[in-house]
């Protein structure tokens, strides 16, 4: 903080490992991911540096306070991640976007970017639109009446059981959403119909009479 303050006040810097001082004439744009006033009060951020930086202040609302931006940002990150991972996805299914817009996003825009990358990776290559089935459980909880799973990371002892419960709940919801049509459920989950049949047998799931 002291070196940055000197650069702003004196207009000069000393490169690392050098004894020479260089003059600089720059405009600084800075951002903070936490409340700097709280850090000022605790002494973790220099007051003189804060007032040097805080010439023009812009308060950006949290992502959950600007729901209208979620779809715009999600589609921006989708384009970025499809190029990065060599995919050809066209967008999100409506129910997928509805879940994204309803989530509270404690990690703000960075969390949204990470989630979109995860969705791109997990969505099958045969699909054009990201299904809700690949959303993490904290964004897409099981439907009412289905088994509720803890979002906490399970211990090593019960990891296998938690994973099976999660897979069963997602399969049941996908089947219910699609009138127990296995092909449609497979598309929603982003897996093959053969995988759906295998999991139905594994979890002893039968179509209601």
- The conformational region for residue 6 under phi > 0 = left, psi -120 to 50 = alpha, else beta, is alpha
CB burial class (10 A; 0-12, 13-18, 19+) of residue 123? buried
Residues 180 and 207: beta-carbon distance below 8 Å:
yes
Q: Check the CA dihedral 47-49-50-51 and report its sign.
A: positive
What are the pLDDT digits (tens) for 108-130? 898 999 999 999 988 888 889 99
Residues 129 and 166: beta-carbon distance below 8 Å:
no
- Domain extent listing, the chain: 2-53, 62-140, 142-209
Q: Which residues contact 73 (CB under 8 A, 6 or more apart)?
A: 63, 109, 112, 113
Between CA 116 and CA 105 the distance in angstroms is: 13
User: For residue 82, what pLDDT is reported?
Assistant: 93
Q: Is the pLDDT of residue 141 over 80?
A: no
Helices (H), the chain: 2-10, 36-41, 47-53, 68-85, 94-102, 108-122, 159-177, 182-189, 193-202
Q: Give me the numbers of helices (H) and strands (E) for the chain, helices first please.
A: 9, 4
Q: Is the pLDDT of residue 160 over 70?
A: no
Residue 131 — very low, low, confident or very high, per pLDDT cuts 50/70/90?
A: very high
Class of domain 62-140: mainly alpha
Q: Which two tokens stand for residue 46?
A: 């220099």
Question: Would strands 129-130 and 22-23 be described as parallel, antiparallel, or unpaired?
Answer: unpaired
- Mean pLDDT computed over 87-93: 94
CATH code matching the domain that covers 142-209, chosen among 1.10.10.60, 3.90.1280.10, 1.10.10.10, 3.40.50.300:
1.10.10.60
What are the pLDDT digits (tens) for 19-78? 888 898 888 888 876 677 888 888 888 998 888 888 888 888 889 999 999 999 999 999
């Amino acid at each position: 903080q002291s070196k940055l303050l000197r650069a702003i006040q004196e207009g000069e810097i000393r490169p690392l490992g050098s004894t020479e001082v260089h003059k600089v004439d720059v405009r600084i744009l800075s951002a903070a991911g936490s409340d700097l006033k709280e850090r000022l009060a605790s002494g973790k951020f220099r007051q003189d540096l804060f007032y040097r930086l805080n010439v023009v202040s812009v308060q950006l609302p949290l992502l959950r306070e600007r729901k209208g931006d979620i779809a715009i940002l999600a589609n921006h990150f989708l384009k970025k991640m499809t190029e990065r991972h060599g995919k050809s996805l066209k967008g999100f299914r409506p129910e997928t976007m509805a879940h994204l817009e309803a989530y509270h996003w404690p990690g703000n825009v960075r969390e949204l970017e990470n989630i979109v990358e995860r969705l791109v990776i997990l969505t099958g290559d045969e699909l054009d639109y990201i299904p809700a089935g690949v959303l993490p459980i904290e964004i897409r909880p099981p439907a009412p009446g289905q088994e509720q799973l803890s979002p906490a990371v399970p211990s090593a002892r019960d990891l296998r059981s938690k994973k099976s419960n999660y897979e069963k709940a997602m399969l049941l919801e996908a089947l219910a959403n699609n009138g127990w049509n296995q092909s449609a459920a497979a598309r929603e989950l982003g897996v093959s119909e053969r995988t759906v049949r295998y999991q139905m047998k594994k979890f002893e799931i039968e179509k209601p009479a």
